[in-house]
Each structure stands twice: as structure tokens, then as C-alpha cells.
A = this chain, B = another copy of it.
Amino acid sequence: MTDEIASGEDRLIARHFAPLATHPGAFGLTDDAAAVEPPPGCELVLKTDAIIGSIHFFENDPAGAVAQKALRVNLSDLAAKGAAPLGFLLSIALPKGTTEAWLAAFSDGLKSDIEQFQCPLFGGDTVKSPGVVMISITVVGSVPTGTMVKRGGAKVGDRILVTGTIGDAALGLKLRQDEGVAARWKLDAAMREHLTQRYLVPQPRNAIAEVLRTLANGGMDISDGLAGDLTKMCGASGVSAEIDASRVPLSIAAKAALAAAPALIEPILAGGDDYEVLAAIPPASLDQFMAAARAAGVPATDIGVITAGRDEPKFVWNGRQLDFARRSFSHF
């Protein structure tokens, strides 16, 4: 009987989202709320991030990639905070004419990440959008109580580490906006593909969350640009920093683009969407951190040092100090 009167919204949830709600506290999405208990001795770490069509992704991006970006920008925060994922809540606003095929690809993308990151769906809300697709995710993680890695914990003398490579997504966005830059940057097809993919789907570093939690004095994920996010970490910690910009890890593609167009150093260091981890590691723990990151398959690079004072972090490149027009991405 209930099936007969089930609304379109209920059918949509039952078909595409209920199979993702594997945590017992999600009640298969048949209740109005989820019930979640942290593991013994742990507290919950909560974060919300939204992505909006035409602002954070292109409306013709594959739906599965959109779903993964929406979840991964949140998972990236859990990684940097040293938290293990428990699950997430999803709000999604869909324009008229959203197809079953789009929804199926969206939920398939989510399903794959739910399995990879062990982060099931706790609940959600599906509403109509008068315009673009809007997705807001709240991710729930856990840490032993009191051990969340803070922005404000960096100490003078700490080494500054970043994971992966920096600047790829900012260049990938420029490529999406203007394909002509590929020729000017002397990029081959593989390089173009690499940069475009890095913008399309971030690779959050949840594999090193635990070693960050045990070894990092401070940390955050790099979402608004390395320069601006390091400035935020230093500000919260009451310290400054010196970065050797030539040590900032770049992909082969970013190196090629930078060689052809040296002004790209600014979008590379300040452009955003990296979703790598920025961490302050005490020198005595550096070897242990590097070994653990290597064992987890996560590249990590020492790019500089936390210094005393409240000056903006210095970025030195080819012997001169970089002067950024804008250190970080902001929507406003």
C-alpha cells in the first residue's frame, strides 16, 4: 500500500540513495534522522562543505565525478584533522529535468567512494533547485577525544610538509575555461588530462590521517591555495613561515606549464582546489612521518619551516621573495 502512494521524492531516495545507507544508525533512510555514537573514547569531528554547479564544477562534468568531488572535499578535511570517517549527510538540490541516468551515475560515484573511504550515507534531503545542481555534504569523523589536529598548533621550528603535488587543479580549471592555454603551456595530451582530472576529482589523503593525528603539531587541508592556507595556519598558530618555493612539489604537467609561463607560479601556489594536506611536523618526528606517509602510499615533501613572528609567510623562489596579488581563493 505504501508503495502506491510513495511520492517521486521517496522513490528517488529508495532507488538511488537508500542502498548507500549501510550504517545501522541510518535506518536504511526510512526514518527522519540518524543515530550515531562515536567509538569508545572518541569524539566526533564535523565538517560541512558545499559545491555548486557552474561555481565549483562544470554542469557537464560526469555526475559520478561531481558526487565524488562533493564527498572528497569534505573527506579531505577529515584527513587533515587526523579523523577517521564514520559517515556523511547529503543535501542535494536538483533542477527540473534531472534524468534517472544522471542520478544513477551520481549514486554510483558515491557508492564507489563510500566503499573506498569506508564512509556510508547517514541521511539526506533531496529538494528541487530552480537553477543549477547544489550539493552540501556534512561529513562525520572521529578522533580519540581531544586529539583533533588543529590549525593553531604549529610551533616555531616545525617542518612544513605538503602531500602530493600543488597547483594542478588551479591549472586544470584554467584549461577547462580556455583550451587554448594548453598550446601556450606546451602541454601534451597526457599532461592536459592529468591537470583536468586533478580539477575534476580530488584525491583526499585519508590514508595518513592517523599518522597526522599522532605526529603533527598543526594541520589543515589545502583548499583555497597553499599560500593563503599556510597564512591561515600561521595566523591561527601565532607564527610565521619560510617556504622554499622551488621545493614545492609539482607534477610533470605543472612543471612544463610553469617553464613555458613563469607567471603561473602565482595560481600554482595560491589558486586553490588542491585538497592536499598542509602539516607542521616537529623536526624530531620528521623521519617517522615520512616513513609512515611512504608506507601509506602518500607522497609528502618538506617545503620549509615555521618561524617566529607574525609576518605573512615568505615564499622564496629563484632567489627572490614572491609577492602575491592574492594569496588565496575567495568567493567574495
Contact = CB atoms under 8 A, between A and B. Distances in A.
Interface of A: 1-2, 4-5, 7-12, 25, 27, 30-38, 43-56, 77-78, 80-81, 83, 89-91, 93-94, 122-132, 134, 136, 138, 140-141, 143, 145-146, 148, 150-152, 220-221, 224, 228, 231-232, 234-236, 310-312, 327-332
- Secondary structure dominating the interface of A: mixed
A311 B27 CA distance: 23
A34 B83 CA distance: 11
A80 to B, nearest CB: 7
Contact of A32 (B34, B47, B123, B134): B47
A38 B41 CA distance: 11
A2 B56 contact: no
A151 B32 contact: yes
Given A132-B131, A136-B50, A150-B31, A228 B125 contact: no
A135 B275 CA distance: 24
Nearest to A30: B236
Nearest to A332: B8
A312 B4 CA distance: 10
